[in-house]
Amino acid sequence: MSSVCLRLGDKAPDFTADSSLGEINLYEYLGDGWGVLFSHPADYTPVCTTELGRTAALQNEFAKRNTKVLALSVDSAESHRSWIKDINETQHVDVQFPIIADEDRKIAEAYDMIHPNASVNATVRSLFIIGPDKTIKLIITYPASTGRNFVEILRVLDSLQLTAYHSVATPADWKDGEDVVVVPSIKTEDIPAKFPKGFTEVKPYLRLTPQPNK
């Protein structure tokens, strides 16, 4: 059983591994951009096929956000390459991102992707967003029976990238282009200079302003 417990802000464990696109080093692959690393229980399974198909359909959206995607399971690179043919055929896509082969489960253990009470051998549906500084910005874990919402992953990426460079937070159900929250550390009297688009004071602790990077 893995004793690893990764948390937000932790350094993402680096690795070099075989993949559907050949040997890949995580840090080199991501470069100075953002990354999404997600595991799936096994190749040739129905929900995973739809998930990787959906990710492939959104490849341009991830690219717009300077984000590279990597999938992972404990199957072999050969199995991945063969399965990709099925994904492309059934989901009408062209999978171009790598699927990591983690047959010895070392990466899965480093990222705590195997939950023994769910499955002793298969990885659960873990997803990590990794920032340019190689720290973990988001962790989401789904059960094997529930496919992920990749539009939500894009929404979170938009929020993370916005809030990394501006003194704002994003409210519930926020979408790119909508008003955002001014962080509490900024005094109300200082808002006009920092946010010239204006602001609305709903409460002294709840101040809204138009998205600053739009």
Q: Is 5 a catalytic residue?
A: no
Indicate the length of the chain as a whole number.
214
Phi-psi group of 25: left, alpha or beta (phi > 0 → left; psi -120 to 50 → alpha; rest → beta): beta
- R_g (Cα) of the chain, nearest Å: 19
What DSSP state is assigned to residue 183? Answer: P
Given the residues 12, 48, 154, 180, the one annotated as active site: 48
Residues sharing a CB contact under 8 Å with residue 152, sequence separation 6 or more, in sequence order: none
d(CA 93, CA 100): 19
**Contact present, 69 and 54 (Cβ < 8 Å):** no
Which positions are catalytic? 48
